[in-house]
Amino acid sequence: MIEKINHIGIAVKNLENSIPFYRDQLGMEFEGTEEVAEQRVRVAFLKVGESRIELLEPTSTDSPVAKFIEKNGEGIHHLAYEVEDIERSLRQLSEQGVRLVDTAPRNGAHGSRIAFLHPKSSGGVLTEICQMGGH
Ligand code: CMX
């Protein structure tokens, strides 16, 4: 089902303060920022081989990322795996009893379609599956 690790999401309070470490100190290729209104976050992507680091800044106090930072501080927020057919993957996971946050895909960055699995079903690691392209 899983093709590769698409990205690792890292919750930050402020993108502009966080980008220089990854771009300038670690030397990653900065691919730009984008607002994902549906998730109430602004994201920055930095390329690492075939994968990316996704920095997530909350755009409102009721954003899931704002709640995460309030509870845990800044840090690793989720792992995103790329799948070929997100509807099929969601169906298979649901049939196997995995608890889903999203029963249907929603819009992510870069025209992707994404869905989250509940961390209670995945050993405390918030897990995203994503399919590239599509909207
Ligand atoms: N990683 C691990 N555990 C997490 C978590 C995370 N990122 N976020 C929340 N949790 C845990 C909490 O610690 C809490 O555990 P306990 O019950 O043991 O205390 C439990 O999940 C419930 O957390 P909560 O703070 O009460 O929050 P909610 O139940 O309201 O929401 C969740 C939890 C996962 C359903 C919600 O954060 C969500 O829907 N996340 C997916 C959407 C998202 O994060 N979008 C932003 C990213 C956008 C993008 O990549 O484009």
- Report the number of distinct structural domains present in the chain: 1
Query: Ligand 1 in contact with 126 (CB < 6 A)?
Result: yes
Domain span at 74: 2-134
CA of 68 to the centre of ligand 1 (A): 7
- Burial of 119: CB neighbours in 10 Å, binned 0-12, 13-18, 19+: middle
The backbone torsions φ and ψ at residue 53, rounded to the nearest 5 degrees and listed phi first, read -95, 130
pLDDT for position 134: 55
Beta-carbon count within 10 A of 21 CB: 13
CATH code for the domain in which residue 113 is found? 3.10.180.10
Q: Which atom of ligand 1 lies closest to the CA of 7? A: 50
Ligand 1 center from residue 27 Cα (angstroms):
30
Q: Is the CB of 117 under 6 A from ligand 1?
A: no
pTM: 0.95
Average pLDDT, the chain: 95
